[in-house]
Structure 1
Amino acid sequence: MSETVLYDLTDGVATITLNRPDGMNSLTSEMKEALVATVQRAAGAAEVRAVLITGAGRAFCAGQDLREHGDNLAAGKGLDGTVERHYNPLITAITTMPKPVVAAVNGVAAGAGASLAFAADLVVAADTAKFATAFTGIGLAPDSGMSWTLQRLVGRAKATELLLLGTPVKAAEALELGLVNRVVPADELAPAAVELARRLASGPTISYHAVKTALDYAATHDLPSSLQKEAELQELCEKTTDHRNATEAFLKKQQPTFQGR
């Protein structure tokens, strides 16, 4: 465990908190390694049924720690392999885990920090939150999946604008664009995000995973192939205890209880 990345498991919800508030939760090498390991831990833990990612202090995540990056440039290390070693495994772990991921964006989300939020399945933002792509501002290309996620969230034209110009997007505009699912007052963010994560944790997690799989597949395949993938996923879900119990509960006009199996 690391002091810069906190982990808590309560009621089936794994809460991962970026905990470097004095640095706006900007990502050092040590913090990135801890974050990748923590997300992978949550992804692989059977007792975890939903994941909540947030930041401590006034920022969600300001992206790469540029002081450390500057030191690497001065030492001739360049990017020091961080995209392949840290950012790619992090986004892969978030987007492929067989359980829903909620991002609670409490403040600035910039660069890789914005990518982290965009990779989540659902995003709840404080009304004080702000998103910025930030990459071109320091002469870099997008990373952490932003070239993939952003255009799927807002469309190619708007994604191009946001990436080229790097203009920050406030919470209200982020909601209009579809970057986030919900905006709440800052002092209501934590309870709202926890309530959402607990709702997901009590739901049919295998079904949720099927939804994520179907959407990812359909994004890059034609309709006939997507129809076949849906059929395969339905066959998988039909065999679950959750489906059978929920169907029985529906017929009895009762509320179903999901077990995640």
Structure 2
Amino acid sequence: MPETSVTDTLVSFSLEGGLARLTLTRPEAGNSITPELGLALMKASVRCASDSSVRAVLLTGAGKNFCVGGDLKTFKEAGPGVGALIKETTGYLHAACSTLARMDAPLVVAVQGAAAGAGLSLALLGDLVYAAESSKFAMAYTAAGLSPDGGSTFLLPRMVGLRRAQELTLTNRRLSAAEAVEWGIATATVADDVLLAKAEETARTLAAGPTRAYGRARRLLIDSFDTSFEAQMEKEGTAIAAASVEPDAQEGLDAFLNKRVPVYRGTP
């Protein structure tokens, strides 16, 4: 049985063996994002970042689609209040994205069906992203007369280059799973019927790894685009020195030197 399981009507959370599973649970609406879902995701992400027993996170979406983006029906129904509604939605979403990007636990994302708009933004956050063979990826925002959110204008150009980011953003071209891998958006394509099994297998492997070292590496990578070479090396030196005195590093060094498999227990 899971160590922790929380049933939320919008985002479910479970924790077992160091692996936290976050699942968007609006399948009838393509897991589209409302203020309420954004808030639920923010709370779940904070839990992942603040609980030292969480050593890897698997993000999925229930039903046929990973996430089709913002809930355009809800936005339209807001009438003159749509600006405030969207500002509230992005506030929660962006807090969730920032937390997921900077936590120690690595993030694995499994994408089926559509990853569009904010759904694509969430996929871009993953350290490892597995795409079902039938899945599609699209920015989609300008098709509805909107501009991007969810950190996509930061992450996408860094992953695919400015020219390709411009094409995806302005033309709303849909990428197949294979194209998403080719462009650097996804890690690998997986047969639809084994998508979750493959993503969970990888996430469980990461959950058995050196969590704090993963966290330092994740933050170094995401910060590297805005740091000079010398400043980045200074950050690297500080991070590796801090890591070296922790139990995980001592275990890793001893295991390497004695030619055995390390057993990482996570560093509080």
Q: Which residue in the other structure is 1:228 paired with?
A: 234
Q: Is the 8 A contact 2:213 2:243 kept in 1?
A: yes
TM-superposed CA distance for 1:102, in Å, is 0.7
Output the amino acid matched with 2:49: A
The one of 16, 19, 29 aligned to 2:25: 19
The one of 128, 147, 167 aligned to 1:141: 147
User: Does structure 1 residue 212 correspond to structure 2 residue 218?
Assistant: yes
Q: Which residue in the other structure is 1:193 paired with?
A: 199
Tell me how many residue pairs correspond in the alignment: 260
- Equivalences for 1:242-261 in 2 at 5 Å? 242-261=248-267
Give the match's secondary structure for 2:31.
coil
TM-superposed CA distance for 1:76, in Å, is 3.1
Output the amino acid matched with 1:76: G
- Equivalences for 1:171-190 in 2 at 5 Å? 171-190=177-196
Give the match's secondary structure for 1:52.
strand
Q: Is the 8 A contact 2:35 2:89 kept in 1?
A: no
Structure 2 unaligned segments of length 5 or more: list them: 1-6
User: Does structure 1 residue 152 correspond to structure 2 residue 158?
Assistant: yes
Q: Is the 8 A contact 2:38 2:89 kept in 1?
A: no
TM-superposed CA distance for 1:45, in Å, is 1.0
Give the match's secondary structure for 2:66.
strand
Q: Which residue in the other structure is 1:78 paired with?
A: 83
Taking the aligned partners of 1:75 and 1:141, their CA distance within structure 2 comes to 18
Q: Is the 8 A contact 2:133 2:191 kept in 1?
A: yes
Output the amino acid matched with 2:111: V
Taking the aligned partners of 1:46 and 1:247, their CA distance within structure 2 comes to 22
The one of 93, 112, 118 aligned to 1:112: 118
Output the amino acid matched with 1:188: V
- Equivalences for 1:4-83 in 2 at 5 Å? 4-72=10-78, 74-80=79-85, 81-83=87-89
Q: Is the 8 A contact 1:83 1:143 kept in 2?
A: no
Output the amino acid matched with 1:210: R
Output the amino acid matched with 1:159: A
TM-superposed CA distance for 1:18, in Å, is 0.7
Quick one: percent identity of the two aligned structures? 38
Deviates more, 1:236-245 or 1:212-221: 212-221
Taking the aligned partners of 2:188 and 2:242, their CA distance within structure 1 comes to 31
Taking the aligned partners of 1:132 and 1:77, their CA distance within structure 2 comes to 23
Taking the aligned partners of 1:68 and 1:228, their CA distance within structure 2 comes to 47
Taking the aligned partners of 1:76 and 1:188, their CA distance within structure 2 comes to 43
Taking the aligned partners of 2:157 and 2:233, their CA distance within structure 1 comes to 23
Q: Is the 8 A contact 2:45 2:100 kept in 1?
A: yes
CA shift digits 1:166-205 (9 cap, x unpaired): 1111101101111001110000101100000001000011
Structure 1 unaligned segments of length 5 or more: list them: none
Output the amino acid matched with 1:213: R
CA shift digits 1:108-130 (9 cap, x unpaired): 01100110110122111111111
Taking the aligned partners of 1:165 and 1:84, their CA distance within structure 2 comes to 23
TM-superposed CA distance for 1:85, in Å, is 2.2
Report the TM-score when normalising by structure 1.
0.96
Taking the aligned partners of 1:11 and 1:134, their CA distance within structure 2 comes to 37
Report the TM-score when normalising by structure 2.
0.94
Taking the aligned partners of 2:19 and 2:159, their CA distance within structure 1 comes to 25
Q: Is the 8 A contact 1:100 1:121 kept in 2?
A: yes
TM-superposed CA distance for 1:40, in Å, is 1.2
Taking the aligned partners of 1:83 and 1:65, their CA distance within structure 2 comes to 10
